[in-house]
């Protein structure tokens, strides 16, 4: 093996740059040339490849976003685009590819592997929603940004004895809501994986006030319900409460990656290169019980579903069920 390439695809996530940097450092350490593919799968099809050196990547370990840029590129589902990508890779003499992204990006890596081109996936998405792995790069940073914002909102909420409903990202997964909600001591966490009644959320906030709380906080995952709709229905059921809704939106994707995201990104980036050199393909890296773990893309993506931390969710439900 002489040349490998790396791309980032889908929504950017803090820590992607740390993973790119580790791929480049480890590749160079093994005497390989490492190409960056710009703009994800679109760049792969269009041949937007640039040779990367240490000076291109070393500062980026501490930066959010992705230095390789990203794109949503649904066209890559089609075989003709995948074949075009492989001919671009062959034109550049590239022997293997590292794909950093979410489940859509992994589907692309799987297609390439099925067509015989070696590809290894690294999970990079703030949503933490990839089957098999308990953790994806960017999740820790996103939770930390969400929590910081929620703490600030809680200051003003308490000053006016208000109820705030804070909508966080996560697409179809409730992970960011659960972790930020537990860390903030939310009165209710609403996730798409669990049915909920707004009456029950009202009851929890009222019980909290009766028990002495001076504000109420609801953390709502975007995949469960739209925040404006939620606030409107909540207000009808609780006309005496002063309620506000906030959407945190894309600030959760930005900012400095946390130490945890940088460390796992570094571990995964370096290991992905080792695995490609060993001749592996159609696999991805993840974390299980804090250990770096290798997953088979076909087996895991096709047969497993992402699981949220039910234990954390249930704990919060229990702690905030104050009767009445
Ligand atoms: O997958 C990451 C994510 O930020 C989701 O949480 C969110 O639903 C989506 O991307 C937003 O996508 P876009 O930036 O394309 O609006």
* Closest to 45 in 3D by CA, of 91, 104, 14: 91
- Tens digits of residue pLDDT in 96-132: 999 999 988 999 999 999 999 999 999 999 999 999 9
Q: Quote the pLDDT of residue 109.
A: 94
The atom of ligand 1 lying closest to the CA of 171 is 8
| Binding-site entries for ATP | 11, 72-73, 102-105
Mutate to test the pocket of ligand 1, among 12, 136, 143, 171 (most ligand atoms within 8 A of CB): 171
Q: How many CB atoms lie within 10 A of CB 4?
A: 26
Active site positions, annotated: 127
Nearest CA to ligand 1 atom 14: 11
Q: Quote the pLDDT of residue 302.
A: 83
Q: Are 185 and 214 in contact (CB under 8 A)?
A: no
Q: Is the ipTM of this complex over 0.85?
A: yes
Burial of residue 31 (number of CB atoms within 10 Å: 0-12, 13-18, 19+): exposed
Cα 165 from Cα 234, distance rounded (Å): 10
- Token reading at 169: 């990202």
* Å from CA of 12 to ligand 1 middle: 9
Residues with CB under 6 A from ligand 1: 11, 102, 125-127, 169-171, 222, 253
Burial of residue 180 (number of CB atoms within 10 Å: 0-12, 13-18, 19+): buried
Higher-pLDDT residue of 83 and 298 is 83
- Tens digits of residue pLDDT in 21-56: 999 999 999 999 999 999 999 999 999 999 999 999
Q: Are 293 and 287 in contact (CB under 8 A)?
A: yes
Would you mind telling me the total number of residues written for the chain in this entry?
324
| Binding-site entries | 11, 72-73, 102-105, 125-127, 162, 169-171, 185-187, 213-215, 222, 244, 250-253
| pLDDT over 90 (residue 298) | no
Strand order in the sheet with 188-190: 188-190, 216-221, 163-168, 243-247
- Token reading at 16: 């992607």
* Å from CA of 131 to ligand 1 middle: 18
The atom of ligand 1 lying closest to the CA of 126 is 2
- Please report which residue ranges of the chain form alpha helices under DSSP H: 16-29, 40-46, 54-57, 79-91, 103-114, 139-159, 175-184, 198-210, 227-237, 259-277, 297-303, 310-319
CA 223 distance to own-chain centroid:
14
Q: Are 208 and 238 in contact (CB under 8 A)?
A: no
The atom of ligand 1 lying closest to the CA of 222 is 8
Mutate to test the pocket of ligand 1, among 11, 137, 176 (most ligand atoms within 8 A of CB): 11
* Closest to 101 in 3D by CA, of 81, 119, 82: 119
- The pLDDT-based confidence of 324 (bands split at 50, 70, 90) is low
- Tens digits of residue pLDDT in 134-159: 999 999 999 999 999 999 999 999 99
- Token reading at 229: 């709709």
- Mean pLDDT, rounded, of the chain: 96
Cα 69 from Cα 40, distance rounded (Å): 7
* Å from CA of 1 to ligand 1 middle: 35
- Token reading at 55: 């000076």
Nearest CA to ligand 1 atom 15: 11
Q: Quote the pLDDT of residue 299.
A: 87
- Token reading at 128: 């933490």
* Torsional sign, CA 216, 200, 243, 192: positive
Q: In the block, which residue shows the tokens 């960017």?
A: 138
pTM comes to 0.97
* Å from CA of 283 to ligand 1 middle: 24
Question: DSSP class of residue 124?
Answer: B
* Closest to 44 in 3D by CA, of 96, 81, 1: 81
Nearest CA to ligand 1 atom 1: 11
Nearest CA to ligand 1 atom 13: 11
> What is the percentage of the chain residues whose pLDDT exceeds 90?
95
The atom of ligand 1 lying closest to the CA of 10 is 1
Nearest CA to ligand 1 atom 8: 171
Q: Quote the pLDDT of residue 282.
A: 87
| Binding-site entries for substrate | 125-127, 162, 169-171, 222, 244, 250-253
Q: Which residues contact 96 (CB under 8 A, 6 or more apart)?
A: 1, 4, 5, 117, 118, 119, 120, 276, 281
Count Cα atoms within 13 angstroms, Cβ side, for 16. Answer: 32
């Amino acid at each position: 093996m002489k040349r490998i390439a790396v791309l980032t695809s889908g929504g950017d996530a803090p820590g992607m740059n740390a993973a790119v940097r580790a791929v480049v450092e480890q590749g160079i350490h093994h005497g390989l040339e490492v190409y960056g593919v710009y703009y994800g799968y679109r760049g792969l099809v269009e041949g937007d490849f640039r040779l990367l050196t240490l000076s291109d990547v070393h500062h980026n370990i501490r930066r959010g976003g992705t230095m390789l840029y990203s794109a949503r590129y649904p066209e890559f589902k089609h075989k003709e685009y995948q074949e075009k990508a492989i001919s671009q890779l062959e034109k550049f003499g590239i022997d293997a590819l590292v794909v950093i992204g979410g489940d859509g990006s992994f589907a692309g890596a799987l297609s390439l592997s099925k067509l015989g081109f070696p590809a290894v996936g690294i999970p990079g998405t703030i949503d933490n929603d990839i089957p098999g792995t308990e953790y994806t790069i960017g999740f820790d940073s996103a939770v930390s940004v969400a929590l910081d914002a929620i703490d600030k909102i809680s200051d003003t909420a308490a000053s006016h004895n208000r109820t705030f409903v804070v909508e966080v990202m996560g697409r179809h997964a409730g992970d960011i809501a659960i972790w930020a909600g537990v860390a903030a001591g939310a009165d209710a966490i609403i996730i798409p994986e669990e049915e909920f009644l707004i009456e029950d959320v009202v009851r929890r906030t009222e019980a909290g006030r009766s028990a002495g709380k001076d504000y109420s906080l609801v953390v709502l995952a975007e995949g469960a319900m739209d925040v404006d709709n939620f606030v409107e229905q909540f207000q009808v059921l609780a006309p005496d409460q002063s309620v506000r809704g906030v959407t945190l939106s894309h600030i959760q994707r930005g900012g400095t990656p946390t130490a945890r995201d940088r460390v796992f990104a570094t571990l995964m980036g370096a290991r992905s290169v080792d695995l490609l050199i060993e001749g592996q393909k159609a696999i991805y890296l993840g974390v299980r019980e804090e250990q770096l773990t290798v997953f088979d893309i076909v087996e895991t993506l096709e047969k497993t579903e992402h699981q949220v931390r039910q234990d954390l969710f249930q704990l919060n439900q229990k702690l905030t069920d104050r009767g009445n």
